[in-house]
Amino acid sequence: MLVLEEIYRSKKNEHSKPFNLRIQRSLSWFKKALILHDDLDLQFITVWVAFNALYTQEQAADQEQYTLRHFLS
């Protein structure tokens, strides 16, 4: 287990559900990047996705969901 994951789990109850979800997604992508030793391009992309998952703002996410629902309907 990563040290970051241990810190996340120890402080999970102190934060909101959307924040915890962003951290969980980011850690998941980051762990995948650590596995990809042979493919540096894919490793870079997964780290980039991990950081984007981490920095998504709740308001922006809500707006994106509304836009997606509107588009699909």
Q: What is the pLDDT of residue 4?
A: 79
Q: How far is CA 35 from the centre of its chain?
A: 17
CB–CB of 30/50 below 8 Å? yes
Interior angle at CA 73, CA 62 and CA 61, nearest 5: 10
Predicted confidence band of residue 12 (pLDDT cuts 50, 70, 90):
confident
Q: What is the pLDDT of residue 36?
A: 92
Q: What is the C-alpha to C-alpha distance for residues 3 and 72, in angstroms, rounded to an integer?
A: 40
Which position has the higher pLDDT, 1 or 22? 22
For 42-57, the pLDDT digits (tens) are: 999 999 999 888 877 6
Predicted confidence band of residue 58 (pLDDT cuts 50, 70, 90):
low
11 contacts: CB under 8 Å, gap ≥ 6: none
Residue 17 pLDDT > 70:
yes
